[in-house]
């Protein structure tokens, strides 16, 4: 993706890297860490985030091949630039034992099927519902925020074995969830020539 970076953003990243050494992270993990830290101005995310570089690489390839992106709320959608997303919250209804956010996840899965990237930054119940489905996600960015259910839902995500980006603490939110997706969206796609040169 060709993207013009504003000088203010360039300076912001320069200052971030002056205060936080991210050089030990592999490329995609570093991109996610830096963009999440940048979005929240919170250096603690560098040690709070949990992810796997191999899973990120597969998600990066799928994202750039056109895999659908599902979000739990419109605030997450608003933060994801240059990519259409699916959000079914407006169509969802709460019911006994089912929140609107959870119902929206069911509706979204009915729409997109397996192989999507799921970005959850608001509702722990949305993440909990996703884990009950056979959604076969390419990646789950599970960064819901809050003091009730957020830590537990993210721990359950890590325990599920699904490819994921999560964090350990109560922190999270729409801005950091969309930032994690944008990190993959903005990261360059390897060119065939460079791949052949690396393997030769």
Could you tell me which residues are beta bridge partners of residue 40? none
Q: In what order do the strands lie in the sheet with 69-71?
A: 49-50, 164-167, 139-142, 117-120, 69-71
The neighbour count for residue 2, using CB atoms within 10 Å, is 4
- Quote the CA–CA distance of 29 and 130 in Å, as a whole number: 23
The neighbour count for residue 166, using CB atoms within 10 Å, is 24
Task: Tell me, yes or no, if 38 is annotated catalytic.
Answer: yes
- Quote the CA–CA distance of 87 and 99 in Å, as a whole number: 15
Structure confidence by residue, pLDDT tens digits, 135-153: 999 999 999 999 999 999 9
Q: Which pair of tokens denotes residue 186?
A: 């903005």
- Quote the CA–CA distance of 75 and 159 in Å, as a whole number: 27
Q: Output the pTM of the full model.
A: 0.90
Structure confidence by residue, pLDDT tens digits, 26-50: 999 999 999 999 999 999 999 999 9
CA dihedral of residues 64, 68, 74, 78 (deg, nearest 10): 20
Q: Does the pLDDT value for residue 200 go beyond 60? A: no
Exactly one of 6, 24, 38, 64 is catalytic; which is it?
38
- Average pLDDT estimate for 15-20: 93
Helix (H), strand (E), coil (C) string for 132-152: HCCCCCCEEEECCCCCCCHHH
Average pLDDT of the chain, as a whole number: 92
Structure confidence by residue, pLDDT tens digits, 93-124: 999 989 999 999 999 999 999 999 999 999 99
Residue, of 8 and 57, whose pLDDT is higher:
57
Pairing of strands 49-50, 164-167: antiparallel
What's the pLDDT score for residue 8?
85
């Amino acid at each position: 993706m060709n993207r013009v970076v504003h000088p203010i953003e360039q300076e912001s990243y320069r200052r971030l890297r002056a205060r936080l050494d991210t050089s030990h992270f592999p490329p995609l993990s570093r991109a996610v860490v830096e963009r999440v830290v940048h979005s929240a101005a919170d250096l603690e995310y560098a040690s709070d985030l949990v992810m796997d570089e191999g899973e990120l690489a597969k998600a990066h390839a799928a994202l750039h091949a056109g895999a659908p992106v599902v979000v739990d709320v419109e605030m997450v959608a608003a933060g994801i630039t240059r990519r259409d997303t699916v959000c079914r919250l407006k169509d969802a209804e709460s019911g006994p034992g089912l929140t609107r956010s959870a119902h929206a996840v069911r509706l979204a899965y009915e729409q997109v099927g397996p192989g999507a990237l799921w970005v959850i930054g608001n509702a722990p119940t949305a993440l909990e519902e996703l884990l009950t489905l056979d959604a076969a996600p390419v990646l789950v960015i599970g960064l819901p925020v809050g003091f009730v259910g957020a830590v537990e839902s993210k721990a359950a995500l890590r325990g599920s074995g699904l490819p994921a980006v999560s964090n350990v603490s109560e922190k999270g939110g729409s801005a950091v969830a969309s930032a994690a997706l944008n990190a993959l969206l903005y990261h360059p796609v390897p060119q065939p020539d460079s791949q052949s040169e690396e393997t030769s």
